[in-house]
Amino acid sequence: MSHERMKKMSLKEKIQAKKEKRAEKKAEKKAEKKSEKKPSDAITQKNIEESREEILAKGKKFKYPFQYAKHRLMFNTILIGFVAIAAFVFVGWYQVYKAQSTSEVVYRFTKVFGIPVAEIDNIKVRFSDYLMLYRSSITSVERQQGAFDNSEESKLQKEYYKRQALDAAEDYSYAMAKLAEVNESVTDEEIDEVIESHKVIDGEKRSNEAFEGIIHDNFGLSIKDYRRLIMLTLAKKKASVKYDEEAKKLVEEIKAALAADSNIENVAKKYTENELVSYEVVEDVEATNLDSGRAAMAASLEKMGDISDYFVSRNGDGYYIVKLMARKENKVSYASIWVRFKWLDDEMAKLRKDGHVKEKIDLNINKEGESGEEVPEETEEESI
């Protein structure tokens, strides 16, 4: 546009011309910026990888703190678990071995973990067996005499029963081990047979539910625990029959003497000088009387004066020979000779003397007690 023409242009036209010029420059700049952009705006594999790496790089600042927290949480959980287990074991150990608690909780604890109360060489004596025997004795005594109090006399009585229970548990464990040496054991059928005979009380057979109630009331035991008690008794009985040669020889001598002289009292006088032999006359008892099977054996004899062969007592303490003296309705009178087993007593006495019995708890009384009087043993048959 010539200078002369510019002069001739009106003010309005000048303003319009400037606007158009600015618009042209703006458009040129826009075009330049567009040309500078990368031609890779389209989605490609390369773009995806670059975008992924960029996102992961930004996420690291969140990832690593979380991993650290997760590992810390796992470590703390494991540490707390170990501390809890250690505390549980320590409390259990203290209650069992130091406080010597005889509670139901401790009894169940010893059953689950199978911890020992003593060892006879390599034979472990179960703590649960000791507590089962002790608790059953205490329950039976308290049922008859009333609950123990905190008097010195009650404490002394409890110590007697603890000593008795521990000695019995050791005897049973040793008997089971000796039985296992000759590949023998107590079968479920043998336990069932004993339990079925125990269900007959006062001439009446009790139901399973009623019998379980009787067992719980008299011994404080479940039927499973009672089966264990029967198994221990039978193991001792079978081991004594297997190993007690002295008792076997003696009872066979008495049997031969009775074959020559049926006067059982005369024969008994000859043999009762031996500490293993006892003689007793029992009158007017039912055949179901709990007397180690003597009344039942007498009732099975055909006529008065008949003498039985020797047989093992139901509670496993020796051999019996029975003579039927009288029969009246469902009651019998009999005379019996008892030959006591001694093998296990002798074995255990020697093991204790030689230091082979290692007890893990300290009792405040010996088996004989301070007065030297032996605590009488009570079988499950006699106390039912």
Query: What's the confidence (pLDDT) of residue 73?
Result: 75
Rounded distance between C-alpha atoms, residue 157 and residue 150, angstroms = 11
Residue 213 has pLDDT above 80, yes or no: yes
Residues comprising the chain, all counted = 384
Mean pLDDT of 82-102: 82
Per-residue pLDDT of 106-132, as tens digits, reads: 999 999 999 999 999 999 999 999 999
Domain ranges of the chain: 49-99, 113-243, 246-341
Query: What's the confidence (pLDDT) of residue 91?
Result: 79
- The residue ranges of DSSP E strands in the chain, in sequence order, are 116-120, 123-126, 200-201, 204-205, 277-286, 311-312, 318-328, 331-340, 357-359
300 or 3: which leads in pLDDT = 300
Rounded distance between C-alpha atoms, residue 209 and residue 199, angstroms = 11
Per-residue pLDDT of 158-191, as tens digits, reads: 999 999 999 999 999 999 999 999 999 999 999 9
Count CB-CB contacts under 10 A for residue 114.
10
Query: What's the confidence (pLDDT) of residue 375?
Result: 41
CATH architecture for segment(s) 113-243:
Orthogonal Bundle (1.10)
Per-residue pLDDT of 20-48, as tens digits, reads: 777 777 767 666 665 555 444 555 666 66
In 3D space, the residue among 262, 230, 250 whose CA is nearest the CA of residue 339 turns out to be 250
144 or 4: which leads in pLDDT = 144
Query: What's the confidence (pLDDT) of residue 216?
Result: 94
Average pLDDT in the chain: 85
Contact in structure between 102 and 159 (CB atoms under 8 Å): no
Per-residue pLDDT of 263-291, as tens digits, reads: 999 999 999 999 999 999 999 998 888 89
Per-residue pLDDT of 222-277, as tens digits, reads: 999 999 999 999 999 999 999 999 999 999 999 999 999 999 999 999 999 999 99
Residue type, position 328, single letter: K
Worst-scoring range by mean pLDDT, 140-144, 198-202, 283-287, 377-381? 377-381
DSSP string covering 81-98:
HHHHHHHHHHHHHIIIII
Residue 362 has pLDDT above 70, yes or no: yes
Per-residue pLDDT of 340-352, as tens digits, reads: 999 999 999 999 9
Rounded distance between C-alpha atoms, residue 191 and residue 357, angstroms = 29
Q: What percent of the chain has pLDDT over 90?
A: 61
Task: For residue 277, give every residue at least 6 positions away whose Cβ sits within 8 Å of its Cβ, in sequence order, or none.
Answer: 250, 254, 268, 271, 337, 338, 339, 340
What φ, ψ does residue 119 adopt, rounded to 5°?
-135, 135
Query: pTM for the whole thing?
Result: 0.74
Contact in structure between 316 and 382 (CB atoms under 8 Å): no
